[in-house]
Amino acid sequence: MNQKKDDSQPPATEKSTSLVKCIGNESLKEIVACLKTHKYSIIVDESTDVSTTKQLAIVVRVVNTQQCTVEDKFLQLLDVEDSSAEGLFHLLNTFFDENGIPFENMLGFAADNASVMMGSMGGLKAKLLDRVPHLFVIGCICNSLNLCSSAACLKLPSSVETLCKDLHNFINHSPKRLLKFKEFQQFVRADVHRLLNTSQTRWLSLESVVNRRLEQWSALILFFQSEALESQVQSAVHILNALNNPLFKMYFTFLGYILPIINKMNREFQSESVMIHTAYSNICAFYRTILSNYIKKDILKSKSDPFEVEFKDCSNFLTENEWYFGSKVESTLADKNVLGELGSEASRFRAVVSSLAANRMMSITPWSASVDLAHFDVRLHK
């Protein structure tokens, strides 16, 4: 016997929404009560949702005095109408005032390194410092490392990035080509993997993108030979010419060497465990590794602190033929047949990669500004 539907009861989705709102409001009250009596730091980041609405996410870091642990708590997601520094500060100020959260309890502020956040004159950082002069401010180290590597990669020929994107777009956007490519992968006994695409927000993804193309290089050459001959697609011909040019593979191979070094440092700063006691020594080791590729060994050994090395001073550089670009690149450059095919392009490769390291990556390192950790530690105990 069919039961009559009770129209007086709200739909399940409305019940779920009401439950989530109720839990969210109670959680907000609990966090706000904690911030009124405890010191805290805030971490903010702007985002845009699927409806193209700009939002500001606020996460607070507080000390749980009962359990003696440091906890990160999601505070609120605020809709942003004015994304300027003034607009963001007004948004924060209004939210804090409405909830009675004292700015005086704020110890630290963290955000990405966009000028609207970290501008020394008109950024959100400057406005918060006007309100809380003792505020400890730090930009996202991982974002800084990404900016360093992105700026350095601008020194590479744009055709390298174009090839990277063209390979993905040509194959992955066609089910027919994907199946055909799979046959060539099996023929050369390569792992049957899809080509990955680059991402502007997933900073660690570039290493996987580069390694996947190097892994599939032989299969890619055979696939595009087939496409160029059978389908006679002009774009396939251009891609094939690039794949057959050893210069392109050298650039990808160099990236396959340098990116893991950068990503290793990046992963350490994304660690959820406490790393403050090893952070500086790890940064020094990373910096020294980068410098060792082109700085004379006696110069490096003479400095106990690698940050004292004048990395832009040409007199500290190794000779052009002594620069190190990774074992696989060195093996390629030692091949006389490849050198004969490359001609003057081999010297151009050395010059481009040398400029990448010496002039760009090292000039905007995220630890160039000093951080007064001792001063911050004193305030924590006040």
pLDDT of the residue at 4: 54
pLDDT at position 368 over 50: no
pLDDT of the residue at 380: 35
CA dihedral (99, 105, 107, 112) in degrees, to 10, reads 10
For 265-309, write each residue's pLDDT tens digit.
Answer: 888 888 777 777 888 888 888 889 989 998 999 999 999 888 888
Q: Which residue has the higher pLDDT, 155 or 20?
A: 155
- How far apart CA 331 and CA 328 sit, in angstroms, is 5
Tokens read off for 256:
């396959």
For 297-307, write each residue's pLDDT tens digit.
Answer: 999 999 988 88
The mean pLDDT of the chain is: 83
Q: Which residues 6+ apart lie within 8 Å of 125 measured at CB?
A: 109, 111, 117, 118, 119, 137
Contact call for residues 294 and 323 (beta carbons, < 8 A)? yes
User: Would you place residue 89 in the very low, low, confident or very high pLDDT band (cuts 50, 70, 90)?
Assistant: very high
Architecture of the domain made up of 16-139 = 2-Layer Sandwich (3.30)
- Across 153-162, 245-254, 355-364, least confident range: 355-364
Domain range list for the chain: 16-139, 146-364
The pTM (predicted TM-score) of the whole model is 0.75
Mean pLDDT value across residues 322-332? 90
Mean pLDDT value across residues 61-85? 87
pLDDT of the residue at 172: 92
Mean pLDDT value across residues 105-110? 93
3-state secondary structure 121-172: CCCHHHHHHHHCCCCEEEECHHHHHHHHHHHHHCCCCHHHHHHHHHHHHHHH
